[in-house]
């Protein structure tokens, strides 16, 4: 009964006092209401962080991320530029305190920790809050992306000419206008990878336990394919010159569902593997 009386009194007070907190041009003072004051990113003004790295093959960007959508874009610059389009800062009452779930220090003001060691720049998620980040990297640098737990988001990588390495749990990945080589391992992720050309210097290897692998390659790509799926199917419009059985005249599949084939006379090795997902290898349109 006492609680009902208090609620009724609060409702009456609200009815007679229309403004409880100071309201300015930007709305109510959020601290008076007890929630975190949004950063500029939530007001359509992205937060921006920059760090010089260098635009050469010897440089590397490592991204350790969770609970965030990430877009990586290669550009002709020696800088790594990070934009956060949505980020909520810790509450005001946490001032002077350190979060315990995330030991990485937020030194960017956008929930990320950035550290540079010689030719490697490492970007680590330093907040449990959702994030939406665009990371512009020197086009020729290599990129390594890792989901650090099972609260992953979607990943896209565009216009990167360096090597790409992915370790995914359940986030989906789309790679566009890349050259590789690509080494990608996933547990429950769909991967769409669109090559502008296939780097012939090192092999590529792409695998997922429960997900689809969809590869787009120029029609003149030279590659040696090693393909395997346990429960899925493999589809392609490439002539892979797969050896045929002398009796049945059908493509020969070796033990363990392995298929080996070559395109355009052969070239760099490309290994594709799934357990329960289908595989698509198609000519770029």
Q: For 24-52, what is the mean pLDDT? A: 53
- Whole-number pLDDT of residue 242: 82
User: Is residue 188 domain-shared with residue 73, that is, in the same domain?
Assistant: no
- 69-113 per-position pLDDT tens digit: 999 999 999 999 999 987 778 889 988 888 888 778 899 999 999
- 31-41 per-position pLDDT tens digit: 333 333 334 45
User: Is residue 123 domain-shared with residue 149, that is, in the same domain?
Assistant: yes
CA–CA separation, 92 and 225 (whole Å): 56
- 222-267 per-position pLDDT tens digit: 999 999 999 999 999 999 988 666 566 665 555 557 899 999 999 9
User: Is residue 225 domain-shared with residue 203, that is, in the same domain?
Assistant: yes
In a domain, 10, yes or no: no
In a domain, 215, yes or no: yes
Q: For 51-66, what is the mean pLDDT? A: 95
Mean pLDDT of the chain: 84
User: Is residue 170 domain-shared with residue 148, that is, in the same domain?
Assistant: no
In a domain, 6, yes or no: no
User: Is residue 174 domain-shared with residue 272, that is, in the same domain?
Assistant: yes
Q: What total number of domains does the chain contain? A: 2
In a domain, 158, yes or no: no
User: Is residue 106 domain-shared with residue 205, that is, in the same domain?
Assistant: no
User: Is the full-model pTM beyond 0.85?
Assistant: no
- 136-162 per-position pLDDT tens digit: 999 999 999 999 998 878 999 999 999
Whether residue 13 is predicted with pLDDT greater than 50 in this model: the reply is: no
Whose structure tokens read 């962080």? 49
> Domain range for residue 80?
42-153
Residue ending a domain, among 153, 174, 195, is 153
User: Is residue 177 domain-shared with residue 117, that is, in the same domain?
Assistant: no
In a domain, 15, yes or no: no
Burial class (CB in 10 A: 0-12, 13-18, 19+), 167: middle
User: Is residue 113 domain-shared with residue 186, that is, in the same domain?
Assistant: no
CA–CA separation, 89 and 97 (whole Å): 13
Name the phi and psi angles at 100, rounded to 5: -95, -30
CA–CA separation, 270 and 282 (whole Å): 14
User: Is residue 53 domain-shared with residue 90, that is, in the same domain?
Assistant: yes
Whether residue 185 is predicted with pLDDT greater than 70 in this model: the reply is: yes
Residue ending a domain, among 94, 124, 153, is 153
In a domain, 64, yes or no: yes
- Whole-number pLDDT of residue 83: 97
- Whole-number pLDDT of residue 249: 60
Question: 151: number of CA atoms within 13 Å, CB side?
Answer: 9
User: Is residue 113 domain-shared with residue 209, that is, in the same domain?
Assistant: no
């Amino acid at each position: 009964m006492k609680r009902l009386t208090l609620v009724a009194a609060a409702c009456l007070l609200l009815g007679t006092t229309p403004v409880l907190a100071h309201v300015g041009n930007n709305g109510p003072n959020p601290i008076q209401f007890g929630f975190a004051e949004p950063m500029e990113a939530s007001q359509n003004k992205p937060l921006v962080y920059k760090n010089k790295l260098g635009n050469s093959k010897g440089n590397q960007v490592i991204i350790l991320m969770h609970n965030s959508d990430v877009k990586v874009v290669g550009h002709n610059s020696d800088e790594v530029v990070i934009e956060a389009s949505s980020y909520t800062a810790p509450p005001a009452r946490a001032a002077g305190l350190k979060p315990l779930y995330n030991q990485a220090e937020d030194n960017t003001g956008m929930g990320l920790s950035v550290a540079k060691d010689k030719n490697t720049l490492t970007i680590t998620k330093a907040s449990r809050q959702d994030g939406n980040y665009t990371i512009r990297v020197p086009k020729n640098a290599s990129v390594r992306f890792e989901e650090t737990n099972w609260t992953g988001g979607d990943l896209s990588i565009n216009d990167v000419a360096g090597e790409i390495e992915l370790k995914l749990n359940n986030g989906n990945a789309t790679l566009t206008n890349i050259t590789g080589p690509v080494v990608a391992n996933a547990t429950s992720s769909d991967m769409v990878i669109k090559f502008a050309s296939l780097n012939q210097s090192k092999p590529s290897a792409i695998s997922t336990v429960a997900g689809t692998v969809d590869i787009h390659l120029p029609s003149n790509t030279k590659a040696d394919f090693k393909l395997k799926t346990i429960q899925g199917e493999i589809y392609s419009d490439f002539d892979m010159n797969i050896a045929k059985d002398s009796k049945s005249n059908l493509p020969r599949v070796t033990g363990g569902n392995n298929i080996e084939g070559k395109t355009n006379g052969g070239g760099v090795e490309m290994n594709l593997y799934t357990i329960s997902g289908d595989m698509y290898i198609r000519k770029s349109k």
